[in-house]
Amino acid sequence: MFIPVTFAGWGIALPERRLTNADLEAQVDTTDEWIVSRSGIRERRVAGPDESTATLGIDAGMAAIKHAGLTPDDIDLLVLATATPEMVVPSTSSIVHDGIGLRCGAFDVNAACSGFAYGYVTAAALMNTGMYRSVLLIGAEALTRIIDPQDRATVVLFGDGAAACVLQRHDDTSPSAPGVLAWDLGCDGSAWSILNVPAGGTRLPASAETVANRGHYLKMEGQEVYKRAVRAVVGTVEKTLAQAGVTAADVDVFVPHQANIRIIEAAIKRFGFPTNKTVINLDRFGNTSSASIPLAMFEAADQGRIKPGDLVLIAGFGAGMTWASALIRWGAKA
């Protein structure tokens, strides 16, 4: 189902602090060569003492609204994707809503690294009802706050950041009109345990014991995540391309979730995407979960790598285990 929505504006927010592989060599038993060969990551951003998921989300959201030439009063709905909420209650979107000065509804989406794609499809579907014209969609994360600094398997992978966009509904339904052409959302809940933060929720409330056991840090079964991630990306992309009635050769720009260079390379090889048509920035930012896809996509747009009329394919996978993809005909303004 084609939904006529376009990207009216976007914005990015990144902490200033960079954590390089050299920094990590002094922190855990690892090397730059080991990190780069297995992940492709060379550095990542780390939120400072006065930064958080909400502050990054606010900055990115305000930048997107400004880029769109709008004001907060023009926004009809806020959708915020994050796996690192500001607090258990209330929603992070409420805090971002207040920080930006919005006057609309707001809610969070937690599909981990698939969060932005889930949020994009959800926002587009709601806009297709005719109830909303301008929706602010944000992917924001402060992942380093839940990463065990002593765990070399995870501390090398994740970073902090946010990216946002203003989506606008329009009335052009011609074959060349910008919008979302097809999508796929999926989940295999039986794999929830391979990537999770075990403590801090209602299953294991915070206690002296959970803190002592380091239960508030992210736990990951790396090999299992890798195997499932490759299958998930390939499967969701195949479904979305089939629904749109196009082939991989028709895709102008591929924007994968920036988790691991090996996973990205496996997808490129499977579908034959040229490297110059694949957006990769994980070497500078690492895995920023819900912020990963929009950070890559909007950087590419700012660099002129994405042009009006291009078919842009986004695809992600994450804890849960979730996956999502969408095929977008790019259009910067409605």
Residue 290 has pLDDT above 80, yes or no: yes
126: left (phi over 0), alpha (psi -120 to 50) or beta: alpha
113 is catalytic: yes
Sign of the four-CA dihedral 17, 20, 24, 25: negative
Give the Cα-Cα-Cα angle 270, 157, 198 (nearest 5 degrees).
Answer: 105
Fold classified for 179-329? Peroxisomal Thiolase; Chain A, domain 1 (3.40.47)
Q: Which of 224, 173, 219, 177 is nearest to 198 (CA)?
A: 219
* Each residue's pLDDT tens digit, 149-203: 999 899 999 999 999 999 999 998 888 899 999 999 999 999 999 999 999 999 9
Q: Which of 278, 12, 321, 41 is nearest to 190 (CA)?
A: 321
pLDDT at residue 166 in the model: 98
287 is catalytic: yes
Selecting among 113, 128, 165, 276, the annotated active-site residue is: 113
139: left (phi over 0), alpha (psi -120 to 50) or beta: beta
104 is catalytic: no
- Provide the token pair at 125: 């579907």
pLDDT at residue 140 in the model: 98
pLDDT category of residue 1 using cuts at 50, 70 and 90 = confident
CA-based R_g, the chain, Å: 19
Superfamily assignment of 5-169 in CATH?
Thiolase/Chalcone synthase (3.40.47.10)
Where do the CATH 3.40.47.10 domains begin and end in the chain?
A: 5-169, 179-329
Selecting among 110, 165, 257, 260, the annotated active-site residue is: 257
Phi then psi for residue 208, to 5 deg, are -60, -35
- Provide the token pair at 188: 């295999």
- Provide the token pair at 164: 């946002």
List 327's β-bridge partners, or say none: 182, 313
Three-class secondary structure assignment of 261-288: HHHHHHHHHHHCCCHHHECCCHHHHCEC
* Each residue's pLDDT tens digit, 80-106: 999 999 999 999 999 999 999 999 999
* Each residue's pLDDT tens digit, 114-159: 999 999 999 999 999 999 999 999 999 999 999 999 998 999 999 9
CA torsion 237→243→245→247, rounded to 10°? 10
